[in-house]
Structure 1
Amino acid sequence: MSSNQVELFKHPHLLLLQVRNSFFKLPGGRLRPGESDIDGLNRKLSRKLSASEDGTETEWQVGECLGMWWRHDFETLMYPYLPSNAKKPKECTKLFLVRLPESQKFIVPKNLKLLAVPLRQVHENHKTYGPIISGVPQLLSKFTINIVDI
């Protein structure tokens, strides 16, 4: 991935992790007991997208929560709402906006590939990216994104 790929095409990109050249996922993971959303996200991003080789955690600029999805019982699908028949969700996934520094070098685990995918490629592409990732452009529609030439 070129360091100026996002700037070159003047279009916002989404950072995705590709696992074994087969499926895509957003960086993140499970929270530890008692851990806040922001602390857990900082920990997971530092571990999966380590910006330093010495293992020190980077302080990421975590913005607002863009959306939440719920899984109840033993369902495989996640829903962007809590179904009325679910007493207690089995799992809740939250998606946060994270602002990256202007220039950043990432160190990614060997079994993963880091890709910067244009939002226009992700939008409504359920077969490739799944319903959560392909819905991110719609969630971002409430923001005004300005690309500034410096």
Structure 2
Amino acid sequence: MEIVLLEDVKALGKKGQIVKVNDGYARNFILPKKLGVEATSKNLNDLKLQKANAAKVAAEQLAAAKELAEQIEKVSVTLKMKAGEGGKAFGSISSKEIAAAAADQLKLDIDKKKLVLPEPIKTFGNHEVPVKLHKDVIAKLTVKVTEA
């Protein structure tokens, strides 16, 4: 029996795949647990429409991420940090502070988890912080750190 999987099934296949299984396995396990449906022409057509819709949504998300990346690369965020003796930086700036400053100064809602900052910024000057907006789109946000 051919089944269209509605969810990932371990050792069988991923969501949306058409797999061939034994009749008993399909009737007793896959169909009752709503893990898949029989591969009829109606169900195959529904699957095709769902895949087309998912592709359209993914394309829209990619376009939105590219547009946001262009906005981010044009602007910069300024943060102030205390200075210790001899003009050395006192403290550090984390991704949480950068995200808050971007929301405050630029009115851009950037999630702190999307900022790729391996370690906090501990020096004055300009720093480029990568922002992963989409799996294919990475923007560079300029962060200016000045003395308070």
Whether TM-score is above 0.5 comes out as no
Give 1 or 2 for the bigger CA radius of gyration: 2
TM-score between both structures, scaled by the size of structure 1: 0.28
TM-score between both structures, scaled by the size of structure 2: 0.28
| Greater RCO, CA 8 A, separation 6+ | 1
